[in-house]
Amino acid sequence: VGRVDFGDLIYMTQREKFDAVIEDIKECVKRQQPVLVGTTSIETSEYLSGILKKAGIKHEVLNAKQHEREAEIVAQAGCPGAVTIATNMAGRGTDIVLGGNLEAVLKELPEDDEQARQEARERWQKRHNQVIEAGGLHIIGTERHESRRIDNQLRGRSGRQGDPGSSRFYLALEDNLMRIFASERVAAIMQKLGMQEGEAIEHPWVTKAIENAQRKVEGRNFDIRKQLLEYDDVANDQRKVIYEQRSELMETDDISETISDIRYDVVNGLIDTYIPPQSIDEQWDIPGLEQALENEFGLKLDLQGWLEADESLHEEGLRERILEELEKEYAAKEQLAGSEVLRQFEKAAMLQVLDTAWKEHLAAMDYLRQGIHLRGYAQKNPTQEFKRESFELFNQLLDRIKYETISILSKVQVRAPEDVEAVEEQRRQQVEMNYQHAEVSALAGAGEPSPEERAEEHTPFVREGRKIGRNEPCPCGSGKKYKRCHGRLS
């Protein structure tokens, strides 16, 4: 590489830094050396462009607002005395050819005009030699980036394919990176040296301190990405399970066996709440179980009567009878609606429950992630706590999908066609009755007003006596102004 990388120049303020940048650009233009000025943001590039305009220096700005002319600007960025201001994202992936882009010039000329093409080549060669004699492309960095890789990419625009070039970064203690990480140390050095306004410090120690600051930022960003990936991996593992179940559900036409297994788990889980396993009769909450079966599954059972009628009925027998009654009611619905219709309804109901529950679960995971870092104050690892809490939420999600699916299927009411027609006719009559009632109420409300109402509408307000001014004495004789006395009441 024929590029010369000069040391960083550090100034106290942004104003001093940009003044030095302008002077460097003027020197390059004077000796006809092309300059590429790299900035970290569009705002900085436009600010620098404004300074160059005031100084009367012709230049081009290459940022997101000039993307239509990007190829043209890059093509001419290597011409003698050209000044180009670019953000770190603009013009990437293109070589800046010293002397200008010859291919772009030749494309504009007719292919059969060999004389004009030869003259264009000779002019380009002359410009190319002129730029090489001036030192090649000069890179000016107005600020250090958080990543050294981006700085190296900016420097790498110059000195390509053996061409000469140079680069230098101009920094200020007010820059974001310097202010956060290296401001105090470098400022102490500059104060010890007794730096005057406009003077810069250039030393390998300072450059090394800046690189250490960049390493700190890179390490911090790496830790953030690593932690974010650990959180995303937890959600991704859960997503794989849910999407796999959903795909199986979509590909299967008959999920009756799955529904039967889920029904068994859900009913047994509900019974365990009111009849603990391996418990004695005194611990059973039979009224609560009857109420829960009716509320959750629409199943009205006289469990107390069963137990009184059959003293040998134990816990397992009671579970089996409850499950049999639930399956018997469901079989009656299937006989009335038809197997094909019920299979479609089972699939649609489970899909709807799964999708709704999954969306709410993702929202809960986001809320958990926002506040999980507070566990660190309790000397706990936030990542491990997030994994544990999210696993519990996922188990609750699976239980909810099962529970709500069985609840919907158990509560659904199947009607015969004639019953549906009767209900629809009753609904139409109710709508017509409400409409007629609204019309009658509107007509009744639009009647002629009474004489008293008509008199109130047209009788103007007449004041008794003259109006009392706010600053006049109050008529009550208190000696105060009206606005301070009875005027307050009005």
> Any idea how long the chain is?
490
Q: What average pLDDT score do residues 168-182 get?
A: 80
The whole-angstrom separation of Cα 318 and Cα 307 is 9
The whole-angstrom separation of Cα 83 and Cα 139 is 10
* Torsions phi, psi for 281 (to 5 deg): -60, -30
Do the domains 2-218 and 252-411 sit in the same CATH topology, yes or no? Answer: no
Q: The domain 252-411: what is its CATH number?
A: 1.10.3060.10
Q: How would residue 323 be classed by pLDDT, with cut points 50, 70 and 90?
A: confident
The whole-angstrom separation of Cα 155 and Cα 168 is 8
Per the listing, tokens 């009367």 go with 56
Query: pTM above the 0.75 mark?
Result: no
pLDDT value for 98: 84
> What are 329-385's pLDDT values in tens digits?
888 888 888 888 888 888 999 999 999 999 999 999 999 988 888 888 889 988 899
Residues 473/481, Cβ–Cβ less than 8 Å: yes
Residues 34/131, Cβ–Cβ less than 8 Å: yes
Which residue type sits at 10?
A: I
The third-level CATH classification (topology) of the domain covering 2-218 is Rossmann fold (3.40.50)
> What are 4-26's pLDDT values in tens digits?
888 888 888 888 999 999 999 99
The whole-angstrom separation of Cα 92 and Cα 477 is 88
Q: Give the residues across from 62 on adjacent strands.
A: 86
Sketch the domain layout of the chain as residue ranges: 2-218, 252-411
Helices (H), 285-416: 286-297, 303-309, 315-337, 339-371, 382-411
